[in-house]
Copies of this chain bind each other. A is one copy, B any other.
Amino acid sequence: MGISGRVSRRDELPTPALVLDVDALDRNIGAMIARTAAMGVALRPHAKAHKCVEVAQRLYRAGAVGACCATIAEAEAMARGGLPGILLTSCLVTPDSIERLSRLVASGADISAVVDSALGVDLLGQAAENAGRRIGVLVDIDVGVGRAGCVEIADIVALAQRIRDIPQLEYRGVQAYWGNLQQVMPFAERRSRVEVQAERLRSILAVLREAGLAPEIVSGSGTGTHAIDGRLGLFTEIQAGSFLFLDSCYGSVPTSDGEAAFEPSLYVAASVTTATRPGRVIVNAGLKAFATDNGKPMPMRGAPAGAAYRFMGDEHGALDFDGATPPLGATIEFLTSHCDPTVNLHSAYHVVSGESVVDVWPVVGRY
A residues whose Cβ falls under 8 Å from a Cβ of B = 1-3, 12, 14-16, 18, 48, 70-71, 90-97, 99-100, 103, 116-117, 119-120, 142, 145-151, 155, 179, 271-277, 280, 282, 284, 287-289, 291-293, 311-316, 318, 328-329, 340-341, 344-347, 366-367
Closest 10 CB pairs of A and B: A14-B96, A292-B293, A148-B274, A70-B315, A94-B271, A93-B328, A147-B312, A93-B329, A288-B344, A346-B367
The residue of chain B having its C-beta at the shortest distance from the C-beta of A277 within the complex is B151
Complex CA gap A91/B316 in Å reads 11
Question: What are the residues of chain B within 8 A of A119 when measuring CB–CB?
Answer: 328-329
A-B pairs with beta carbons under 8 Å apart, 5 shown: A71-B315, A90-B316, A94-B271, A314-B340, A314-B341
Interface of A is mostly: loop
Complex CA gap A148/B284 in Å reads 10
Question: What are the residues of chain B within 8 A of A94 when measuring CB–CB?
Answer: 14-15, 271, 273, 284, 329
Contact (A1, B314) CB under 8 Å given A149-B274, A149-B276, A345-B367: no
Q: Nearest-CB distance from A293 to chain B (Å)?
A: 4
The residue of chain B having its C-beta at the shortest distance from the C-beta of A340 within the complex is B314
Q: Nearest-CB distance from A281 to chain B (Å)?
A: 10
Asked if A275 and B15 sit within 8 Å, CB to CB, the answer is no
Complex CA gap A327/B313 in Å reads 38
Question: What are the residues of chain B within 8 A of A345 when measuring CB–CB?
Answer: 344-345, 366-367
Question: What are the residues of chain B within 8 A of A272 when measuring CB–CB?
Answer: 93
The residue of chain B having its C-beta at the shortest distance from the C-beta of A317 within the complex is B147
Question: What are the residues of chain B within 8 A of A276 when measuring CB–CB?
Answer: 116-117, 142, 148-151, 155
Question: What are the residues of chain B within 8 A of A18 when measuring CB–CB?
Answer: 367
Q: Nearest-CB distance from A78 to chain B (Å)?
A: 15
Contact of A95 among B1, B92, B145, B284 (CB under 8 A): B1
Question: What are the residues of chain B within 8 A of A314 when measuring CB–CB?
Answer: 48, 70, 340-341, 344
Q: Nearest-CB distance from A147 to chain B (Å)?
A: 5
Question: What are the residues of chain B within 8 A of A340 when measuring CB–CB?
Answer: 288, 314
Complex CA gap A128/B194 in Å reads 62
Contact (A277, B96) CB under 8 Å given A289-B367, A316-B90, A340-B314: no
Contact (A3, B93) CB under 8 Å given A312-B147, A314-B341: no
